[in-house]
Amino acid sequence: MKKGYKQLLDEANAQVIAVTAADAASLHGDPAVVFVDLRDPREREREGTIPDAFSCPRGMLEFWIDPESPYAKPVFAEDKRFIFFCASGWRSALAAKTAEDMGLENVSHVAGGFTAWRDAGGPVATVEHKPKA
């Protein structure tokens, strides 16, 4: 193995700004900030999410950021601050680094992820189960 997950995380954490859950909570509700939930739908349904967070499963990130992709999401073309989060901060660190490497600006992630957010008393919204059609 040329590079393991620990080295990838070290590289991401050296490049990307990590915000504490308390600092992230102080930014919640700011119209210039988009919280991006990278967790899969089952995690979101089980644990809830940050209210008004944009759901972007980690596996779709690159496709949704790239404006040339047929799957591009307009939210990533907005002039906003993007704060990524996952369950514990690992996926979000890697995702934030990838987003920066792709050219997305003003990117950070929540250190400790949604778990830290919830433990710090941040607001939590319920995510309803959407049955497959």
The string of pLDDT tens digits covering residues 47-71 is: 999 999 999 999 999 999 999 999 9
Q: Which two tokens stand for residue 79?
A: 């002039």
Q: Which two tokens stand for residue 42?
A: 């089952």
Tens digits of residue pLDDT in 99-125: 999 999 999 999 999 999 999 999 999
CA proximity to 14, closest of 113, 86, 100, 79: 100
Task: Give pLDDT, residue 30.
Answer: 98
Q: Which two tokens stand for residue 115?
A: 């778990």
- Between CA 46 and CA 69 the distance in angstroms is 30
pLDDT of 130 above 80: no
Task: Give pLDDT, residue 99.
Answer: 98
The pLDDT-based confidence of 133 (bands split at 50, 70, 90) is low
Burial degree of 67 (CB within 10 A; 0-12, 13-18, 19+): exposed
pLDDT of 41 above 90: yes
Which are the contacts of 58, defined by CB distance < 8 A and separation ≥ 6? 38, 39, 40, 86, 91, 95
The pLDDT-based confidence of 29 (bands split at 50, 70, 90) is very high
Q: What is the architecture, at CATH level 2, of domain 15-119?
A: 3-Layer(aba) Sandwich (3.40)
| Overall average pLDDT of the 12-37 stretch | 97
CB 86 within 8 A of CB 39: yes
Q: Which two tokens stand for residue 8?
A: 């990838």
- Between CA 85 and CA 27 the distance in angstroms is 14
